[in-house]
Structure formats: C-alpha cells, structure tokens
Amino acid sequence: MINSIQKKVVLASIITASLVLLIGTTHDTQILAEELEKTKYTNANEIEIHAVFEFREGIEETDGFQVYKQMAGFDRMSETPKFKLEGVVSSDKVMLYEAADMFQQRSNSPTAQHSFSEFDADIYLHQNGVTLRHFTYADCEITEYKVDTFFDKEEGWTTSKGFAIVDEFEFTCRGYAPNNPLYDLMKTNGYQVSTQSSLDLDNNIETWEDHPKFQN
C-alpha cells in the first residue's frame, strides 16, 4: 500500500515538473519570437534592400542595410557615380568592413591597389521576393565610413525604444547602370500589364470612339 502511494507521488512529481518545463519552454519561445519581431524594421510598401559586393577576395551579400541613397551619377556627362548605404552593424558585412579599413589605411588613394580596391556592387530593391529595381556599380571604392548611434533625442535614455548602432558607407564608382527587371520581364511575356492594345480594335473600325465598348 505504501509503495503504491509512493509511486503515485513520484509520478505526480514527474508530471508537475514536465508541465513546469513545458510552460517555461513555451514562454521562452514566445519571448524569443517577440524579440525577433522587434528586430524587424518597418519599410513602406515592404521594400527591402539586398546588396551584393564583388571583391577580389570573394563575393559578399547582405540584407543589413535599411537606407540606400543615390547621390550622383544620373547625369552621365558630368557626374561621378556616388551612393550611400546605411544600416545596423551586422555580421554579414565582414568583407565590407575589411574593405573600409583597407581604404582608410591607404588614405583612399585612387592609385593604391589592394585586395579590396576597385570592387563592383549591385543594389537590388525587393518586394515580397520580386526585384523591382536593380542598380549596378563598377570599379568602386569606399570614400567615407563611420559608425553612428541613433536614438530618440526627445525622450532620451529612459525609454524602451532602444538604440541603433549604424554603419554609414559612402561609395564612389566609375560606372553606373540602372536596370528595370519588371519591364524586361514584361517584354518576355512573363509579367502581364493590364493596358488597352490597338489589337483589341476591329479591323473595320478606324477610331477608338467607334469601338463597340464605347457605345451606349
């Protein structure tokens, strides 16, 4: 009788401990999910920046930039292509950090050749996995790099909004080319655009106004 009671007590203890462990694990999972959700940045129209850098040492891709600014290059006759990238410090920019350090050590001399000089860059603007815009830069160098900290200056240090440690890169390149992937896709019939075509007109009808769809 005593052994039976002891077994029930032990079993109840095991079940209680398992429930506590399960509840604790679920709670920790929820906290982790909430923390991961907080690290996401809100972008209008769900546009995301994907940058690809092609160095002599290899290719590096990063989604760690939240700001892309075209500074110069639209006027091909008088402007040297320049652009900026800004984003939180992250582990997917290791080669880019090394490139910035190398350019700083060589004093950004255009004649100084090293393993990270004259690299190419591609900037993709994605929306839900679809590339809306693609900008190609050739023979680039890093002409400015600094780290800054952003925070709410009005509410200061006492809020829970947090701080953002941000990389700020400025690039100067010799070549620049904009690309329109959606238009290229449209030309290959891979992307349909709802527009009125002249082929919709009957062969015997000479004007748009005479087309049946415009008649009462």
Q: What is the pLDDT of residues 4-26, one digit of tens each?
A: 555 554 555 555 555 545 555 44
Residue pointed to by tokens 């940058």: 51
Q: Which two tokens stand for residue 139?
A: 């023979």
- What one-letter code names the amino acid at 150? F
In 10 A of CB 64, how many CB atoms? 18
Digit-coded pLDDT (tens) for 123-149: 999 998 889 999 999 999 999 999 999
In 3-state terms, what secondary structure has residue 6? helix
The reported pLDDT for the residue numbered 116 is 86
Q: To 5 degrees, how large is the angle CA 167–CA 169–CA 170?
A: 160
The reported pLDDT for the residue numbered 44 is 79
Domain 44-187 classification at class level = mainly beta
**198: alpha, beta or left, given left = phi > 0 and alpha = psi -120 to 50?**
alpha
- From first to last of its 216 residues, what are the pLDDT tens digits of the chain? 545 555 554 555 555 555 545 555 445 555 444 544 555 677 778 899 999 999 998 999 999 999 999 999 888 888 899 999 999 999 999 999 999 999 888 765 555 677 888 899 999 999 988 899 999 999 999 999 999 998 877 766 766 677 889 999 999 999 999 999 888 888 887 555 554 444 444 444 444 444 444 454
The reported pLDDT for the residue numbered 4 is 57
Q: How far apart are CA 124 and CA 131, in angstroms?
A: 6
In 3-state terms, what secondary structure has residue 55? strand
In 10 A of CB 87, how many CB atoms? 22
Q: For residues 51 and 121, is the Cβ–Cβ distance under 8 A?
A: yes
Give the pTM.
0.67
The reported pLDDT for the residue numbered 211 is 43
